[in-house]
Structure 1
Amino acid sequence: MDTDIMTIKEVASYLKITEKTAYRLTADGEIPGFKVGGAWRFRKQEIDAWIDERLKSGGKSD
C-alpha cells in the first residue's frame, strides 16, 4: 500500500531542495506540514496543491 505521507527527506527530494531549506520553509509556514512525535510529515496532495498555488501566483509567496 502506497501512502501519500512524506518525511522531510522525501519532500526535500520531491521539491529538489535541501533538507535544511525544507525545514526552514516548513517552520516559516511556507510548506504545509504537520508534526507527528516531533517529526515533520507532509501530505503529497497538499504539497502538489502548494506547488499549483505558486505556479498560479507566478512563484510568489502569499
Structure 2
Amino acid sequence: MEDRWHSVEEVAEYLGVKKDTLYKWIQRKDIPAHKLGRLWKFKLKEVDEWVKQQRDTKNGR
C-alpha cells in the first residue's frame, strides 16, 4: 500500500460517499483529516482505522 496523501475527491470515492458528506465529517472533526494550505488531505491508513472504530463503536466493542 502506498503511503501518499489523498484528496477529498479520492477519499469520497474510496468510501463511496459524496464529497459533501466527507466535508460534514471533517467539520464535526470525526474523520482524520489534515489541512495543507487550503486543501484537506488524508492518509488511507488513518481513514481505514477510523472506519473500523466507527463499526466497532456501533457494535458495542
TM-score bracket for the superposition, by shorter chain length: 0.7 to 0.9
Would you tell me which structure has more strand in proportion to its own residues?
1
Q: Return 5+ residue gaps in structure 2 as ranges.
A: none
Identical columns (%): 28
TM-score normalised by length of structure 2: 0.84
Q: Return 5+ residue gaps in structure 1 as ranges.
A: none
1:53 deviates by 0.3
Would you tell me which structure has more helix in proportion to its own residues?
2
TM-score normalised by length of structure 1: 0.83
Off by >2 Å, runs of 4+ in structure 1: none
Question: Cα RMSD over matched residues?
Answer: 1.8
Deviations 1:17-58 (A, max 9, x none): 100111111111011101111100011110010011011112
The CA distance in 1 between the partners of 2:58 and 2:4, in whole Å, is 26
